[in-house]
Amino acid sequence: MLELQYIVSSQGPKRVGPFSHAVRAGDFLFVTGQMPTLPEDPNTLVAGGIEEQTKRVMDNLKLVLRSQSLGFDRIAFARVYLVNFQDFDRMNKVYQSFFPKDRLPSRTCIGVTGLAVGALVEIDFVVAC
């Protein structure tokens, strides 16, 4: 049976709910969707619009990845949740800047009617370890 390792990192952002920052299953790490909240305060959204929120989400994901000695070059799959698809191009510009040009992960982008704490964007990852 495949062993699961549940990861709650003191290096990651404070959690807004009852979940692990990530779960390692074999050679994969499943990283919980991150919100555009301040790392030390999961109830406070970063100031600004979609660009600032996307950057904060990616920075929060980076905190989780670093806690496992991983980087954006190991992302196999990303899932993006957007409240407003008119934000798609602006979100993409910030999102893409975090990845090496030739190492973009596969991805699904999903339109939603709302996200926790009033966020405009949330992103989760599947990482190859």
| Distance separating alpha carbons of residues 112 and 115, to the nearest angstrom | 7
| Distance separating alpha carbons of residues 85 and 120, to the nearest angstrom | 10
In this predicted model, what pLDDT tens digit does every residue of 1-35 receive, in sequence order?
Answer: 999 999 999 989 999 789 999 999 999 999 999 99
Parent domain of 105: 4-128
In this predicted model, what pLDDT tens digit does every residue of 31-82 receive, in sequence order?
Answer: 999 999 999 999 999 999 999 999 999 999 999 999 999 999 999 999 999 9
Please name the residue ranges forming H helices in 30-102: 50-67, 88-96
- CATH, residue 23: 3.30.1330.40
| Distance separating alpha carbons of residues 45 and 87, to the nearest angstrom | 17
| Distance separating alpha carbons of residues 3 and 119, to the nearest angstrom | 33
Residue corresponding to tokens 């191009």:
89
- Centre a 10 Å sphere on the Cβ of residue 121 and count the other Cβ atoms it contains: 28
Strand residues in 1-129 grouped as ranges (E): 4-7, 22-25, 28-34, 37-38, 41-45, 75-82, 106-111, 121-128
Q: How many domains does the chain have?
A: 1
